[in-house]
């Protein structure tokens, strides 16, 4: 007689535990509890270099600054031109990404753009460098109790407001990717 009662008690405990776990999973706070462990910034400027590059096109469609042009008459392999036409090979000076200058720091440092030295070549010759696109990144590192880490990019204003040790909840998908824009402050 005692054995059926024990089974009923064990079954009831399992049902209650499953219900509580499922209820917490469905109705409990969303996301993973994390703590802000580090703030950093990075300022980057793309440095472009003037290079001489070869190209080819139909002679009536050449870029205005094409030099060293060689011509030959040929049929259009695409069929867009009915008659054979002049096709040209040429050289052109173009700006291409060469390297990236960057400054990095943390909350104790003032974010500042790098000031790289630039090469200057005579006008019309390859070799000169110029400043290109600028990008500023303000990042925070978040860690959970199991020491999993996520890095989130935030605006400069938000970055300045945040402090090390603040606690948040951040949704994390099944692949371990944090949804940083959905992060919210938690009273843990």
Residue 1 counted as domain residue: no
Q: Parallel, antiparallel, or unpaired: how do β-strands 85-105 and 149-154 relate? A: unpaired
Mean pLDDT of 125-138: 96
pLDDT at residue 44 tops 70: yes
Residue 22 counted as domain residue: no
Helix (H) or strand (E) holding 9: helix 2-27
The pTM score is 0.69
Residue 21 counted as domain residue: no
Residue 2 counted as domain residue: no
Mean pLDDT of 173-185: 82
Residue 66 counted as domain residue: yes
Mean pLDDT of 145-154: 92
The per-residue pLDDT for range 4-41, each reduced to its tens digit, is 777 888 888 888 778 766 665 555 555 788 999 999 99
Residue 45 counted as domain residue: yes
How would you class 160 by CB atoms within 10 Å of its CB: exposed for 0-12, middle for 13-18, buried for 19 or more? middle
Q: Parallel, antiparallel, or unpaired: how do β-strands 129-143 and 32-58 relate? A: antiparallel
Provide the phi-psi class of 83: left if phi over 0, else alpha when psi is between -120 and 50, else beta: beta
Domain region containing 181: 28-185
Task: Give the pLDDT band of residue 188 (cuts 50, 70, 90).
Answer: very low
Residue 23 counted as domain residue: no
- Counting the structural domains of the chain, the total is 1
Residue 6 counted as domain residue: no
């Amino acid at each position: 007689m005692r054995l059926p009662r024990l089974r009923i008690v064990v079954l009831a405990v399992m049902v209650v535990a499953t219900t509580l776990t499922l209820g917490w999973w469905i109705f409990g706070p969303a996301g993973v509890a994390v703590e802000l462990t580090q703030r950093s910034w990075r300022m980057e400027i793309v440095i472009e270099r003037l290079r001489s590059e070869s190209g080819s096109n139909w002679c009536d469609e050449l870029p205005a600054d094409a030099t060293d042009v060689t011509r030959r008459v040929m049929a259009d392999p695409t069929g867009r031109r009915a008659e054979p036409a002049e096709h040209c090979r040429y050289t052109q000076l173009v700006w291409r990404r060469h390297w990236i200058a960057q400054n990095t720091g943390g909350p104790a440092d003032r974010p500042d753009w790098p000031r790289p030295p630039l090469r200057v070549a005579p006008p019309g010759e390859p070799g000169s460098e110029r400043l290109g696109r600028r990008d500023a990144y303000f990042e925070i590192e978040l860690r959970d109790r199991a020491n999993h880490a996520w890095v989130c990019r935030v605006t400069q204003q938000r970055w300045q407001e945040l402090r090390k040790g603040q606690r948040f909840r951040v949704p994390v998908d099944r692949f371990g990717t944090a949804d940083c824009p959905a992060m919210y402050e938690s009273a843990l």
